[in-house]
Amino acid sequence: MTETPWPAPVATAAVDAVVTVPGSKSVTNRALLLAALAAEPGWVRRPLRSRDSQLMADGLRALGVTIEEQVNNSTGGTGGGEAWRVIPATRLAGPANIDVGNAGTVMRFLPPLAVLADGPVHFDGDPRSHERPQHGVIDSLRALGARIEDGGRGGFPLTVHGTGALDGGTVELDASASSQFVSALLLSGARYNQGVEVRNTGGSIPSLPHIRMTVDMLRLAGAQVDAPEDGGEPGVWRVSPGALRGRDLVVEPDLSNAAPFFAAALVTGGRVTVRDWPKHTTQAGDQLREIYSRMGGSCRFTDEGLEFTGTGRIQGIEADLHDVGELAPVIAAVAALADSESVLSGIAHLRLHETDRLAALAKEINELGGDVTETADGLRIRPRPLHGGLFHTYEDHRLATAAAVLGLAVPGVLVENVATTAKTLPDFPAMWADLLEPAAARD
Ligand SMILES: O=C(O)C1=C[C@@H](OP(=O)(O)O)[C@@H](O)[C@H](O)C1
Ligand SMILES: C=C(OP(=O)(O)O)C(=O)O
């Protein structure tokens, strides 16, 4: 990347801001896929418009789904504003080429749908897509009757030879590398002849709230789903075969992307409200309320959303982030500015995310003078006075937002390729500048 690094702004005063965080990546991409598989058209309102959701939309379009971008205010309230109208294809069609980028949701969720297409569907993506684990999806689809060519690599590039239908049935897989393996099979499973039963034979599955989100969204689309959380067999999920309803769905704000904004309240001793924070949600990011409170902040619901207030003093934490790995990079940045040590555990799987997040965080924070060591399943962070320098982001949106948080308190942090935030938060630099603008200047 040859672009000039972005100088992360230093906070010169306590922040005091109200922020609108764009829609959830996880909800948007599930909603698009379920709408594409439905028996009738549907709406996805307030969608995230970012690289990952654009890749999902384009992938579905390549198979014949119509996705129209519309502004529709007719329903008023939360139903108005930007929306995607999704019109399912009469027949999902190959041949098609699909770019998965570095989007886990696209690389895992679309091949199980492509088996339902009539014809070959070729998938490829960013170089990192060749390294991220995909076996849980490919091997499972093969066991369920699909033909997939992957040149013996077990991942991308690959071709799914869709035949218009899949038998489906029971499959065993090791989902300890990613919850997305399970979500992927469940999301398309209602459209398989026998539905799908997914049995995890591996260790503990990370990011479980994301599977809960899959189950909830499937049920709202009319699918019958059995899940362990509802008294089902542990480690087993079942989706019965059946048609899905087209829905009118409003996407919640992306709570994981609220992490850097609330962090600004903690770091500067200020106050940040994220608008429209849902009272009930399956998003993993909701756990920020508890985690940041343990680090010294406090939060309350207001008429506008969720307000977080910091004191400027941050306590280190011991936290198992197995369920909420998405939050780890920004929490690590906050921990590096704390007044005591932190140990973040349960996140070995982050080594296979957008980049090896554990190695990248340790290296980059240490280059600024920090003391971060990798443990077997996480990070130990001992706060030390930090200095400015170039922070590499490894094409990882969450590394870039973590660097911005450090830059609030450390003059001279230069963020390489801040544009990588476009994966889930396209306007991040402008949003960050607005956050730091004194309240008086905004009025
Ligand atoms: O299903 C999803 O929407 C996601 C699941 C999680 O993946 P892993 O289970 O691979 O951690 C999460 O980290 C990712 O950002 C989004
Ligand atoms: C891990 C992440 O993304 P994905 O797996 O969806 O690419 C993330 O957004 O932190």
Q: Which residues are annotated as a binding site?
A: 25-26, 30, 104, 132, 178-180, 207, 326, 353, 357, 398, 423
218, two tokens: 């499937």
User: Within this chain, do residues 12 and 70 fall inside the same structural domain, yes or no?
Assistant: no
How many angstroms separate the CA atoms of 164 and 144, rounded? 14
Which one from 197, 252, 307, 326 is the annotated catalytic residue? Answer: 326
Contact 271, 307 (CB under 8 A): yes
Q: In the chain, how many domains are there?
A: 2
User: Within this chain, do residues 324 and 388 fall inside the same structural domain, yes or no?
Assistant: yes
Tell me, what's the pLDDT at 73?
A: 55
Question: Up-side HSE of residue 237: CA atoms within 13 Å toward CB?
Answer: 27
Ligand nearest to the CA of 424: 2
How many angstroms separate the CA atoms of 369 and 362, rounded? 11
Give the domain-ending residue among 237, 262, 296. Answer: 237
User: Within this chain, do residues 147 and 215 fall inside the same structural domain, yes or no?
Assistant: yes
The residues, any chain, with a CB within 8 Å of residue 233's CB and separated by 6 or more, are none
What is the value of pTM for the model shown?
Answer: 0.97
Let me know if residue 242 belongs to a domain: no
38, two tokens: 């439905």
Ligand 1 atom with the smallest distance to the CA of 177 is: 10
User: Within this chain, do residues 226 and 290 fall inside the same structural domain, yes or no?
Assistant: no
Tell me, what's the pLDDT at 99?
A: 98
Let me know if residue 247 belongs to a domain: no
Backbone torsion region of residue 424, taken as left when φ is above 0, otherwise alpha when ψ lies between -120 and 50, otherwise beta: alpha
Tell me, what's the pLDDT at 116?
A: 98
Let me know if residue 168 belongs to a domain: yes
Let me know if residue 248 belongs to a domain: no
User: How many Å lie between the centroid of ligand 2 and the Cα of residue 104?
Assistant: 6
Tell me, what's the pLDDT at 78?
A: 42
Give the closest residue (by CA) to ligand 2 atom 5.
104
Q: Is 212 helix (H, G, I), strand (E, B) or coil?
A: helix
Tell me, what's the pLDDT at 312?
A: 86
Helix axes 104-114, 51-62, angle to 10 degrees: 10
CA distances (Å), origin 352, targets 132, 254, 339, 357:
6, 22, 30, 8
Give the domain-ending residue among 237, 263, 293. Answer: 237
How many angstroms separate the CA atoms of 67 and 70, rounded? 9
State yes or no: is 326 an active-site residue. yes
Give the closest residue (by CA) to ligand 2 atom 3.
104
Give the domain-ending residue among 202, 237, 272. Answer: 237
C-alpha angle 59-252-234 in degrees, rounded to nearest 5:
80
Candidates 222, 276, 221; CA nearest to 249 is 221
User: How many Å lie between the centroid of ligand 1 and the Cα of residue 168?
Assistant: 24
Let me know if residue 428 belongs to a domain: yes
User: Within this chain, do residues 17 and 90 fall inside the same structural domain, yes or no?
Assistant: no
User: Within this chain, do residues 88 and 14 fall inside the same structural domain, yes or no?
Assistant: no
| Ligand 2 contact via 326 beta carbon (within 6 Å) | yes
Maximum Cα interatomic distance, the chain, rounded to a whole number of Å: 63
User: Within this chain, do residues 182 and 331 fall inside the same structural domain, yes or no?
Assistant: no
Task: Provide ipTM, 2 decimals.
Answer: 0.99
Q: Which residues are annotated as a binding site for 3-phosphoshikimate?
A: 25-26, 30, 178-180, 207, 326, 353
pLDDT in tens, the chain (443 residues): 468 999 999 999 999 999 999 999 999 999 999 999 999 999 999 999 999 999 999 999 999 999 999 875 554 444 446 999 999 999 999 999 999 999 999 999 999 999 999 999 999 999 999 999 999 999 999 999 999 999 888 899 999 999 999 999 999 999 999 999 999 999 999 999 999 999 999 999 999 999 999 999 999 999 999 999 999 999 999 999 999 999 999 999 999 999 999 999 999 999 999 999 999 999 999 999 999 999 999 999 999 999 999 998 999 999 999 999 999 999 999 999 999 999 999 999 999 999 999 999 999 999 999 999 999 999 999 999 999 999 999 999 999 999 999 999 999 999 999 999 999 999 999 999 999 987 667 66
User: Within this chain, do residues 167 and 313 fall inside the same structural domain, yes or no?
Assistant: no
User: Within this chain, do residues 12 and 97 fall inside the same structural domain, yes or no?
Assistant: no
User: How many Å lie between the centroid of ligand 1 and the Cα of residue 284?
Assistant: 9
| Ligand 2 contact via 285 beta carbon (within 6 Å) | no
User: Within this chain, do residues 315 and 209 fall inside the same structural domain, yes or no?
Assistant: no
Long-range contact pairs involving 58-62 (C-beta distance under 8 Å, separation at least 24): 58/98, 58/99, 59/98, 59/99, 59/100, 59/106, 59/110, 60/32, 60/33, 60/36, 60/86, 60/110, 60/113, 62/96, 62/97, 62/98, 62/121
Helix axes 428-436, 397-409, angle to 10 degrees: 20
The residues, any chain, with a CB within 8 Å of residue 77's CB and separated by 6 or more, are none
C-alpha angle 248-251-253 in degrees, rounded to nearest 5:
165
Tell me, what's the pLDDT at 72?
A: 57
Domain coverage including residue 75: 25-237
300, two tokens: 């309350």
| Ligand 1 contact via 206 beta carbon (within 6 Å) | yes
Kindly report the CATH number assigned to the domain that includes residue 138. Answer: 3.65.10.10
User: Within this chain, do residues 295 and 383 fall inside the same structural domain, yes or no?
Assistant: yes
Tell me, what's the pLDDT at 71?
A: 74
Q: Would you say the C-alpha torsion 233, 234, 239, 244 has a positive or negative sign?
A: positive
Let me know if residue 223 belongs to a domain: yes
Tell me, what's the pLDDT at 271?
A: 98
Let me know if residue 437 belongs to a domain: yes
Instruction: Render 53-101 in DSSP notation, one character per residue.
Output: HHHHHHHHHHTT-EEEEEE--TT-GGG-SEEEEEE--SS-B-SEEEE-T
DSSP assigned state of 193: T
User: Within this chain, do residues 96 and 30 fall inside the same structural domain, yes or no?
Assistant: yes
| Ligand 1 contact via 102 beta carbon (within 6 Å) | no
Let me know if residue 366 belongs to a domain: yes
Contact 98, 62 (CB under 8 A): yes
User: How many Å lie between the centroid of ligand 1 and the Cα of residue 245?
Assistant: 25
The residues, any chain, with a CB within 8 Å of residue 209's CB and separated by 6 or more, are 282, 283, 284, 323, 324
